[in-house]
Structure 1
Amino acid sequence: MSDATVALGAVGRPGEDADQTVFMRKTPGQSRSEPELLTHREPEPDYGDHDDYDDYDDEPGAAEADGPLTDEQRAMRRKKIWRRVRRTMYVGTALMIIIPVLAFFITYQFVEVKKPAEVAAEQDKVVTLYYADGKTEMTKIAGSGANRIMLEYNQIPKHVLHAVYAAEDATFESNAGFDITGIMRAVWNNVTGGGGGGSTISQQYIKKSSGQEDKTLSRKWVELVKSYKMNETYEKDEIITAYLNTIYFGRGAYGIAAAAKAHYGVDISQVTKQQAAFLAGMIQTPSRWKDVEYQHQRWNYVSDKMVENKWMTKQERTEPFPAPLPPSDNSSTLPGPRKGIPDLVTDELKALNISEETMKQNGYKITTTIDPVAQDLAEKAVAEVMAGQPDNLHPGLVAVDPKTGNIVAYYPGSNGVGFDFAKARQEPGSAFKPFDLVGLLKMDKGLGEVYDSSPKSFGDRDEKVRNASTPSCGQCTVAQAMKESLNVVFSDMVYNDVKPRGVVEAAKEAGIRSPLDKAADDINIAIGGGATQVSTVDMASAYATFAADGIYRKPRLVSRIEYPDGGIVFNAATHQDFQERPAFDQDNPERNQKIARNVTESLLPVPKFSRIECANDRPCAGKTGTHQYLDTKDNSKAWMVGYTPQLSTAVSLSGDKTMIQLRDAKGVPIFGSGLPGKIWKKFMDSYHSAKKLPKEQFSKFVPIGKAEPVAPPPTQHSSSAAPPPSTEAPVTTTTTPEPSETAPTTTTSPTRTRPTRPSDSGGISIPGMGGDEDENDRWGSR
């Protein structure tokens, strides 16, 4: 019997032969089976190949078991497969439409839009700052109710509205509360990890009123629905009025009217078109209201957008930047040097995506890392050492706990809300030489390596790099060169061995966070000159890494944030941004520790050599540094950075625009071992004494590479080998890359360097040339 037939049971009509068997045609794909007992079976009609016929007989190998498929059967199978694909696509498309619409409808029913008065009340909560013990109150950041002015729509000038539209939402008057293009851009940025959002003014109001600023799609979804509901519920003039009465503009000002008073001291009706562009520009990142570069950037952007939208004429665009009022110190009850701490705390939290608006909406309790004893002693040390000194001298001091990364003392200047000399970036001079040594140690060369200390040029120029004082050795070990701060040795080390990029890498690993890209091809980095600019915070933190045997802990001013009821918002000890890491070798902890400890070994003799050793024979290590002013005997920068296992402290000293040169009350040039060194010593001694800290020893020293000879023989120098102590000034090398499409190369020709005013935006160039000098007795200072 053929496979194409199926036997029916021997049941027939009455009277027929019972043995007769009827065979029926087997349908394609039907497998063999036991005969079924059928009382009756009608022949199955052939429906042909119709779209509404769906045979699910496509299990692999089913049909082939009965023989190969015909072309017609294959075609029918393909049609069935594509029919299923089409149906799946139809269902998927329907779901993609129905589900969001349904979700939108459901969300719409449950969300509520807060009224401006409610938002204002929530923004008026008080934020309390505490010292490191979490109990001693430092200050309060008051709510904004005292300076808020609630406006009506007709009280807001049209050009102010246009400036805000230009800055934040040019289609505000016509959109439905959200911008599809902006939303798609925001979704793309969220998926790809990019920045920038797609918020309209309505969405921004919702975000500020809810206090929810986390960058998630769920928050964005609710914000979008609320924004739509707001636009369905309120008129556009009500929405923009609510927005401008509640948005933050920096300087403690909530609302456009308060912002006009705070930034320009005028009523909202008196704000000019140029001032309106400035105020609107501050909405994006109000915490940067003191950043002059940011002020100009945002003002230019808004002004250009106003011209583009025909809200400002090209002639009006040529008017000068409307500088706001200078910062005032009336908003804080803290003593002078501490007045800026609340702003520093706000900036740190902003980097953690906690805005000032969020702080005030929740009335946070913030525990800082500032130790009241350490802060008192830092301010006292500065006051005593600087008493009677010229007014153009501005010290900055930062002290960091190497075991935690906590900033325990912070001195930005006598006026805490003025220029911040602790945060400002400036040339560190020879205090940067330990990072040269890190680069050398990573090459498995150590303190016993020997370099020639005689003046020499690098590259194809005749000018020579010289030492600031006469060396006690001709062929000097690295250890002796660090002790005497020999410029030639470290320039040679960096030029021939470590390379400038190796120094940049070492500095970043230790904890320098200021940008060093411009110094990456500049041999000046060997002695902390040229394009090398870092902050006092950077130096205290990086030296703390040495003190902690190579473990880097990111410096911080905030240790804990709580809700008023005690709930934890933030804990630095467990936050991923503040977890410790090996600095110099993450794969080999032993080698990492040895590198840091070898640096410490080279720095242990320096404080005593510079006559600022720690009291009572307490082990301490450090390095002084100065930066020469022009081709003179004066300096423009002076530093002392040093540490014990319990504390790392950096002290910088800068001039100002009235006089860049550093001279003390007697008219004597100042070096790192002078006023900065004296401040450092007084603070370190008093801190360890007040805290009753034991004389903790540094870890065991295991040399890397060549061991240092016990007593390297001194060498006599002729007058041609080294400059006379009273007349020679060091010449440094620098790089000034020309505009080019090719990669920059390391410049080795000795040239002059330009001193800069310290700047927290990278430094402001001052006409002149300079170099690098260090602690020396040329001018009677060690």
Structure 2
Amino acid sequence: MSGGPELMTHHAYEEPEGYDDVEPEETGGKRALTPAQRKKRRWKIIRRVAYAFVGVFFVLPAIAFVITYFLVDVPSPTEVAQNQSQAVTYLFADGSPMGKDVPRGGNRVLLSPEQIPDVMKHAAIATEDDSFETNSGFDVGGLLRAVYNQATGGTGGGSTISQQYIKKATDNDAPTLTRKWTELAKSFKMNQTYEKKDIITAYLNIIYFGRGAYGVGAASQAFFHKEAKDLTFSEAALLAGLIQQPGRSENDKVAHDRWNTALDRMVKNNYITAADRAAAQFPTPIPLEDSKQQAGAPPAFVIQQVKDELAAHDIPEDRYYSGGFVVQTTIDPKAQQAAEQAATEALENQVDDNLLDALVAVDPKTGGVLAYYGGKPIVKGPNGEDQAGRDWADTPQNPGSSMKPFDLTALLKKGEGLDKTYDGSNNRTFDGRVVRNAGPGSSCSQQCTVAEAMMRSANTVFYDMVLNDTKQGPVKEAAKEAGVKVKEDGGQSIVSTKDNNISLGGGETQITPLDMASAYATFAANGEQRDRHFVQKVTNAQNEVAYEATTDAKPAFDSDADKSRQIAGNVTEALKPVIGFSHLKCPNGHECAGKTGTQQHTKVAGEPAWAANANSQTWMVGYTPSVSVAAWVGGDGNKPLHGKNNSPIYGSTIAGPMWQKFLSLYLTGKPGEKFDKVERIGGEVAPPPSTEVVTTSESTPTEENPGNDGGDHPGRGHESETPSSSSSKHTKPSTTSKETPTGSQDPPR
């Protein structure tokens, strides 16, 4: 019947969904899908997954990218330059102005595309982004390589020149997906907005090259004293190469390696010929300090210490000039003036032009550096030209007998104290080696207490102590616990345990004045060690705190704070009589403790006869409860140094008075202070009868009256012309003694 319902038996059978690949008995007896139907079903699932994949990974990101594109702005080079050109303002500890550190590159101007030569543009493109001319702001291949390198632990990124510009312009290098996403959008937008010649110009106007120079205009002046338009392809290659490692621009090997890399890539990109590459010669930059410091700038060596400290706390050199930072230092204006005056006056009337000096003062209560004098920041070269001076306050030298307090610390940590006795007589033999004292004034009896041995600086006692009792390792550990930063831990100093020279501060053991002042500050702080630092606080242009130092203390010599305090107090008790015995004195009302030190010169062929008795390094390191001071007077290496009439110099002849002068200037007007008393380790013993009289002596050491300085050389001694019995335990030192080195010519210890 037309239009009537069809019979059920005439319907083609349609399998309901869900019966794919199922046996009839499992579906109520219904027939399973045919192979063709199953294939059709699988393709339907694949298509749906593919649509979802495209939507999630392509369509949605594309939409998000378009939205981001219209939301972001590309910062102009002018805006970026305004932020990068800001000087760093320095303040003293009390908040008063110290000066400004202006970038060495000077006042930078933005160069036009025509003012930057093609060789500079080509060098940067070849070195940093060889697809620059064709990419749209990002390089897909580079991004994939960067992802692969991160996954496999390799090196190398995928940032184009446009991306690097955005990163520097926004000062945002956070390792987040959000930052990378917006960076890609801005890079793409930049390439849609600007021509390639404008992009490479913008990049070269803001990128950091080292030496404080942002932009190629400043860099060409800072490195070569010329206009950017006059750069050669070889000079351009060096500047382009340094973009990757600007903080190591003064490392000669790094500079050569980066220059070679840039040239090789310029050849690969057909910017120079192979013949040009073969003929290229390394363009030696002008001396680092060729541009003199501007008037009113902080001390150059203080600036460098601050830079190093900030770099260790996430403010590296390429951010240093870009934040509008204000640095409040720990430098006390009165202390700094006193340090510069004392150090300058110490060498004014000296006849030896090879003499150098340094002085560092540290606050034991905070670890802050109160004063820092490392010598002249600019010195004359062999042809009268200005050259960068060396920071002698951060240069390691043999400490001589100023090492002995660490010997004593190691002994005290064993539970043995100042009343322990050793044979303090002269010319003792250890393993076939003769060790001598500094003469009769430095020797004592065969039952010499450690306390008297420290006062007299008896070499034989401390050599014996370390060799047979404490051993060398614990002495090194004591020095590190006190605050000496050794090379293996990232510091400058070397404390060698390869032989027993460590006991007398000789051989390979070399410590900086900065480390010595910091370490002795731990004794002054009753065994509490604080990290030394030059920076109190750093604020940025928005007056936000970018960094603030901590002054937390920890027990130095024992996990028990009381035990550490007792050890430090015993060291102080041993060092108090040294001041008077060395013919030095403390400011009225203040107690002092400290130790002199001398390293003897090793005579070499061709030197004058007087060099056989000369010394090469001298020290006075000492402290009050409120300040620890290291004064060093010496030479550059193993140079024979002399005073008037070719007389030897000692720790007590120039370094000692310099130390004394600083304390006199700095502590004037400050309340008197005494050391805390602690229980004596190892029992009680009466101090030498002469201690009180000697400690209050008003005599001042001179070259004619050096006092006792301690012999710091196992094979040679300093003999006094004043008679003194080596067997007398408590001989009062003569105020008219004159020490004259004599003995064998063993190498310095």
- Tell me if TM exceeds 0.5: yes
- Residue identity matched to 1:385: A
- Say which is worse superposed, 201-210 or 363-372, in terms of deviation: 201-210
Q: What is residue 100 of structure 2 aligned with on the other side?
A: 140
Equivalent AA in structure 2 for residue 602 of structure 1? A
Q: 1:682 offset after TM fit, Å?
A: 0.7
Write out aligned runs for 1:168-179 (5 A): 168=128, 176-177=137-138, 179=142
- State which of 602, 610, 615 in structure 2 corresponds to 1:635: 615
| Amino acid in the other structure paired with 1:607 | I
Cα distance between partner residues in 2 of 1:382 and 1:240: 50
Indicate whether 1:255 and 2:215 are aligned.
yes
Q: Which of 673, 679, 700 is the matching residue for 2:658?
A: 679
Structure 2 equivalent of residue 266 of structure 1: 226
Quick one: structure 1 residues 688 and 115, their matched pair in 2 at CA, closer, same or farther if it must change by over 3 Å? Answer: same
Do structure 1's residue 448 and structure 2's residue 442 form an aligned pair?
Answer: no
Residue 364 of structure 1: which of 325, 328, 333 is its match? 325
Distance in 2 separating the partners of 1:109 and 1:458: 82
CA distance in 2, matches of 1:532, 1:132: 33
- 1:327 maps onto 2:286 in alignment: no
Q: Secondary structure at the match of 2:506?
A: coil
Letter in 2 for 1:672: G
CA contact (8 A) 1:367 1:561 kept: yes
Question: Which one is further off, 140-149 or 669-678?
Answer: 140-149
Supply the distance in 1 between the matched residues of 2:81 and 2:738 (Cα, whole angstroms): 63
Which residue of the partner structure matches residue 7 of structure 2?
A: none
Question: 1:394 maps to what in 2?
Answer: 356
Please, which of 527, 541, 547 is the counterpart of residue 550 of structure 1?
527
Secondary structure at 2:485 match in 1: coil
Amino acid at match of 1:493: M
Secondary structure, aligned partner of 2:168: helix
**Alignment deviations for residues 30-85 of structure 1 (CA, whole Å, 9 cap, x no partner):** xxxxxxxxxxxxxxx999874899xxxxxxxxxxxxxxxxxxxxxxxxxxxxxxxx
Can you list the C-alpha shifts for 1:347-395, whole angstroms capped at 9, x where unaligned? 3222222245544433222222221111112222223332222432221
Instruction: Report the Cα distance in structure 2 between the residues aligned to 1:146 and 1:584, rounded to whole angstroms.
Output: 48
Decide whether the 8 Å contact of 2:127 with 2:262 is kept in 1. yes
Paired amino acid for 1:111: V
In the alignment, is the contact (CA less than 8 A) between 2:364 and 2:625 conserved in 1? yes
Q: For residue 777 of structure 1, report the CA deviation from its aligned partner.
A: 4.8
Q: Which residue of 2 aligns with 1:212?
A: 172
Tell me which of 469, 473, 478 is aligned to 2:450: 478
Query: In structure 1, what residue type is equivalent to 2:358?
Result: G
- Structure 2 vs 1, CA of residues 195 and 340 (structure 1 numbering), >3 Å: closer, same or farther? farther
When structure 1 is superposed on structure 2, of 661-670 and 102-111 the one drifting more is: 102-111
**Structure 1 residue corresponding to 2:435, chosen from 465, 480, 483:** 465
The separation in 2 between residues aligned to 1:579 and 1:97, in whole angstroms, is: 53
The alpha carbon displacement at 1:614 in A equals 0.6
Question: Which of 664, 668, 686 is the aligned partner of 2:647?
Answer: 668
Asked if 1 retains the 8 angstrom alpha-carbon contact of 2:146 and 2:156, the reply is no
Whole-Å separation in 1 of the counterparts to 2:155 and 2:527: 34
Separation in 2, partners of 1:506, 1:681: 26
Alignment check: 8 A CA contact 1:473 1:712 kept: no
Give how far 1:396 is off.
0.9
Q: Is the 8 A contact 2:444 2:453 kept in 1?
A: no
2: distance between equivalents of 1:236 and 1:704? 76
**Cα deviation, residue 113, structure 1:** 2.0
Structure 1 residue 332: Cα displacement? 2.2
SS state of the match for residue 393, structure 2?
A: coil
Separation of aligned partners in 1, 2:224 and 2:684:
64
Is 2:324 the partner of 1:347? no
Q: Distance in 2 between matches of 1:609 and 1:52?
A: 105
- Relative to the length of structure 1, the TM-score reads 0.71
> Aligned match of 1:298 in 255, 264, 285?
255
- 1:408 and 2:381 correspond: no
The Cα of 1:488 is off from its aligned counterpart by: 3.1
Q: Any idea what SS the aligned residue of 2:594 has?
A: strand
Q: Distance in 2 between matches of 1:489 and 1:94?
A: 83
Contact 1:466 1:730 survives alignment (8 Å): no
Mapping of 1:376-387 within 5 angstroms?
376-387=337-348
Question: Which amino acid in 2 is paired with 1:702?
Answer: E
The answer to whether the aligner puts 1:596 opposite 2:568 as a matched pair is yes
Establish whether residue 422 from structure 1 lines up as the match of residue 393 from structure 2. Answer: yes
Look up the SS of the partner of 1:599 in the other structure: helix
Contact 1:407 1:555 in 2 (8 A): yes
The SS at the match of 2:623 is: strand
| Structure 2 Cα separation of the partners of residues 609 and 365 of structure 1 | 46
Percent identity between the aligned chains?
Answer: 41
| CA–CA distance in structure 2, aligned partners of residues 170 and 143 of structure 1 | 30
Distance 2:59 2:681 in 1: 69
Distance 1:609 1:121, change over 3 A: same
Gaps of 5+ in 2: 1-14, 24-47, 379-387, 488-492, 604-611, 691-706, 717-736, 743-749
Residue 105 and residue 699 in structure 1: after superposition, are their counterparts in 2 closer, same or farther (change >3 A)?
farther
Is 1:584 the counterpart of 2:554? The answer is: no
**Pair 1:712–1:127, CA change in 2 (3 A):** closer
Q: CA deviation at 1:535?
A: 1.8
Q: Which amino acid aligns with 1:180?
A: L
Name the CA distance, whole Å, in 2 between partners of 1:707 and 1:186.
67
| Cα offset, 1:676, TM superposition | 0.9
SS of 2:740's equivalent in the other structure is coil
Structure 1: which 5+ runs fail to align? 1-44, 54-86, 714-724, 734-749, 751-775
Query: Which residue pairs with 1:755 in the alignment?
Result: none
CA distance in 2, matches of 1:52, 1:93: 32
Render the CA deviation track for 1:487-523: whole Å, top value 9, x for unaligned. Answer: 3333333333333332232222211124156724343
Q: Which residue of 1 aligns with 2:484?
A: 512
**1:607 match:** 579
* Deviation of the 1:243 alpha carbon: 1.8
Letter in 2 for 1:646: S
> How far is the alpha carbon of 1:687 from its aligned partner?
0.9
Return the offset for 1:110: 2.8
Give the one of 393, 398, 409 matched to 1:438. Answer: 409
* 3-state SS of paired residue (2:370): strand
Inter-partner Cα distance in structure 2 for 1:267 and 1:497: 66
Using the alignment, how far apart are the partners of 1:276 and 1:458 within structure 2?
62
Q: Output the CA distance in 2 between the equivalents of 1:228 and 1:520.
A: 59
The answer on whether the counterparts of 2:599 and 2:616 sit within 8 Å (CA) in structure 1 is: yes
* CA RMSD, Structure 1 to Structure 2 (Å): 4.1
What CA deviation, in whole Å up to 9, does each residue of 1:667-702 have, x standing for no partner? 32211111111110011122111xx32222222222
Contact kept, 8 Å, 1:491 with 1:527, in 2: the verdict is: yes
Q: Return the offset for 1:457.
A: 5.5
The answer to which of 169-178 and 536-545 deviates more is 169-178
- SS of 1:602 mapped into structure 2: helix
Counterpart residue identity of residue 640, structure 2: Q
Aligned counterparts, 1:93-112, within 5 A: 106-112=67-73
Amino acid at match of 2:377: N
Separation in 2, partners of 1:510, 1:103: 58
Q: In 1, Cα distance between the equivalents of 2:636 and 2:505?
A: 20
Distance 1:142 1:166 in 2: 31
Q: Which moves more between the two structures, 313-322 or 280-289?
A: 313-322
Shift of residue 593 of structure 1?
A: 1.4
Q: Aligned match of 1:620 in 579, 592, 596?
A: 592
